[in-house]
Amino acid sequence: MAAWKTTEFASDHVKLVTWNVNGLNAVMGRKDLQKFLKEEDPDVLCLNETKMDEKKLVANKVKEDLLPEKYLHFWNCCKSSSGYAGTAIFSKVKPIDVKFDIGVVEHDLEGRTTTLEFEKFIIVACYVPNAGQKLDRLAYRTKKWDPDFKTYLKSLETTKHKCVILCGDLNVAHQEIDISNPKGNLRSAGFTLEERAEFTNLLNAGFVDSFRKLHPSEAKYSYWNLRSGARATNKGWRLDYFVVTDSLMDAVEESDMLSSVMGSDHCPIKLVITLSKVKAPAGGAAVEKVKAETEKKEEVVATETKTKKTSVKKASTSKIEKKSQEKSAKKEKKSPSSGKKSSAKKGSAKKH
């Protein structure tokens, strides 16, 4: 039986890896990915910048021939152009749910996110849009994508009540320690104040940069410009992350760069977690509490409204009954005098 036919991980220690492969055709053609999967054997592998489309997947028989059978594959290819962006996730375990993109048309054309839900957590493979060499997409990136993507991640937490693991090339070096030449790149895509501020906003929303949390003063990179030979001199950027729901940090065993792995201008990075230590986010309980309180308030308001309507109806009925009684009383008072007059007339008639 293939491993992915079960929804449970084989071990309590789960290894997650993400890698921007800068084109899957090249990295697989050199057998770099196959070698990596055999040696590292991750439980879940997330890929960024696959540059694949459905036609290439079929033509190259990527799904059937080139990848180990123990993995179930999920592909989100770019819809707007061929050979651009794209994400994928390979998993040994069958997910509970799968979601492609974030549900915002403007952001959903380039295959930038793939989301899998497991029993204890949700993992989001993401390739964040680059602001561009001339920063022509900076406004789109920071004013549209970043806020909408943060909303998407928080909605996963609150609707599923599970911890979220965001991973991939997030296209930002958050702090000066995350880039080899901070002063020379202040207006470079990936290190602008605007992009760094949006990443801070994400962390302030209840997420943690797992590597920086475990290694507060260590300078390590995940991307090097191949054209300038930057990898040989280690002049790089830390653009790839495992960002997790804050409560998940108690379950994190390891978060690190796999700097020795070649095959792309990025190196893979990994996260190891202990499943038994994964707890639902505090926000989930809080959401349930608020929901319960809201429902209770609505119930009270509905009861009060119903009671008020009943009281008004009773009061109205009471007034009608009172008026009816008053009319009846008046009639009764008039009835005897009318009778006397009638009798008098009759008596007079008799005397005559």
The catalytic residues are 127, 169
For residue 13, give both structure tokens: 């220690």
Q: Is 175 exposed, middle or buried (0-12, 13-18, 19+ CB in 10 A)?
A: middle
3-state class of 201 per DSSP? helix
| Residues 221 and 151: beta-carbon distance below 8 Å | no
Label the pairing between strands 269-274 and 252-257.
Answer: antiparallel
**CB-based contact 157:243 (threshold 8 Å):** no
The DSSP line for 101-117 is S-S-GGGSSS--EEEEE
Q: What is the C-alpha to C-alpha distance for residues 281 and 250, in angstroms, rounded to an integer?
A: 11
Nearest to 142 by CA among 197, 85, 86, 209: 197
Beta-bridge mates of residue 164:
122
